[in-house]
Amino acid sequence: MSADPFQLFDAWFAEARAAEINDPEAMALATADALARPSVRMVLLKRHGPRGFAFYTNEGSRKGDELAANPRAALLFHWKSLRRQVRIEGRIERVANEEADAYFATRARDSQIGAWASDQSRPLDRRETFEVRCAEVTQRFEGQDVPRPPHWGGYRLVPERIEFWSDRPHRLHERRLFTREGEDWTEGLLYP
């Protein structure tokens, strides 16, 4: 058994990148609001390592509101072709502005424009309204770099628990659980 869940994640993630046809970095993000009402959606992993698992979004979106009210979350990677999943639970911290700026600069220009034009998760009267806003933002930044909007940033889930699940015949799956204790990790097994 490995004493480092991040090394194991790196190995599994590399296999997923080689095997998954679409979006091996896709992960379900589960949040809850201040009243503990849960919500889940797919987001993309953009950076990971011992500091945690980072993703980016509109901070005024539903997930942004929920993370502000309750800065704890869970992630789930499901790599069907490998018959594996990884569950991660922990606290949320904000990504530094410099890190968010650097990532935003790597996004496709249309994605940058969309980040400015979208009031993510808010009601939209009709599609044309959003398309007009995109056109206006495109014109606003014509001939120049698109800066990161002030309402758009990154979050990092700092893990306290990481579970590696492997499918086995007859539902006799293998579940390896890493639990953080201070700066160290302990590892154990869970019944399937």
Catalytic residues: 171
Beta strands in the chain (DSSP E): 26-32, 38-44, 47-49, 52-58, 72-79, 84-94, 152-166, 174-181, 184-190
Q: What is the largest CA-CA distance in the chain?
A: 59
Asked if 159 contacts 90 with a C-beta cutoff of 8 angstroms, the reply is yes
CA-based radius of gyration for the chain: 19
Q: Strand, coil or helix: what is 179?
A: strand
Q: What phi and psi, each to the nearest 5 degrees, are found at residue 11? A: -65, -45
Q: How many helices (H) and strands (E) does the chain have?
A: 5, 9
